Amino acid sequence: MRLVRVLAGLGYGSRSEVEALLRRGRVLDAQGHALAASAEDPGGELFVDGQALDPRPPLVLLLHKPVGYVCTRAEDEGPTVYELLPPRFASRRPILATVGRLDKETSGFLLLTDDGALLHRLTSPRQHLTRHYRVELADPLRGDEAEALRSGTLMLRGEDKPLRPAQVVELGPTRLRVSVTEGRYHLVRRAFGALGHRVASLHREGMGAAGLDELPEGEWRVFDPARLR
C-alpha cells in the first residue's frame, strides 16, 4: 500500500497534504532517511516531524474518562471523549468507536477501537464480559442491597428480564464495588434506583481482568485486548 494512503488514513491530512509532508522530507524511516511521496509503506517504525507514527489499524486505546465527557461525536451534548485524543485521530479511517458507553457523569475505564470485529465481540451480550464499578450512594446502605444484587431476581423498570447475579463488596456506609456481566443501558444506576437509592458517583474500575493501572484521568494509551481475559 502506498505510504500516502496509509498516512492519510491515520489522519495526517488529505492525500495532497500528506504528499506535501513527504516532499518536504518530514517523514523519516527508522534510519533517518526521508521517504518519497511515491514510496510504498515500508512498515516498521516511522517518524513524522520527529514524532513516532501513530499506530496503524487495528488499534485499541484505553482512556481514563473524566466526568463531564460524553461517548459520542455529537458536540451539542457537551465535551466528547474524542477531544481527549490527538486531533488527527478524528480523521482516522476506519474510525475509532467506543466499546460501549459511559454516561456523562460516569468516569473510568473506556476502550476505543477501529477494529469492527473486536468491537462486535466485546459488546455482544453473549460475551458476558465483566465490568467492575465503584459506586458511591447518596444515602447509607440499609443492609439488603448486596443480597438483592446477587440474587439474579432484581428487575429494572420497563424490562421483563431480571439482572444476572452481580458480585458485590461493601466498602463503607455508602460505598460498594459492583461487578456485572451485562451491558444494559445505565445498568448500575438503574439497579440502585430499583432498590430505592440514588447513585452520587460512579466509576468504572476495569473490564475483565484489566484495570486502569494508575493511568491518569484524561489520559490514554494503546491497549492489548488480550489483557481482558
Q: pLDDT digit string (tens) for 36-86?
A: 999 999 999 999 999 999 999 999 999 999 999 999 988 788 899 999 999
pLDDT at 220 over 90: yes
- CATH of region 3-52: 3.10.290
Averaged pLDDT for residues 91-114: 96
The CATH number corresponding to 131-207 among 3.30.390.10, 3.30.70.20, 3.20.20.100, 3.30.70.1560 equals 3.30.70.1560
Q: Point out the catalytic residue in the list 29, 103, 139, 160.
A: 103
3-state secondary structure of 169: strand
Class of domain 60-124+210-228: alpha beta
Say whether 103 is catalytic: yes
Grid coordinates of 141: 446502605
Select from 26, 16, 106 the least CA-distant residue to 68.
106
Q: What is the pLDDT of residues 114-166, one digit of tens each?
A: 999 999 999 998 888 999 999 999 999 999 999 999 999 999 999 999 999 99
pLDDT at 205 over 90: yes
Phi-psi region at 140: left, alpha or beta (left = phi > 0; alpha = psi -120 to 50):
beta
Select from 45, 188, 195 the least CA-distant residue to 108.
188
Select from 14, 15, 10 the least CA-distant residue to 46.
10
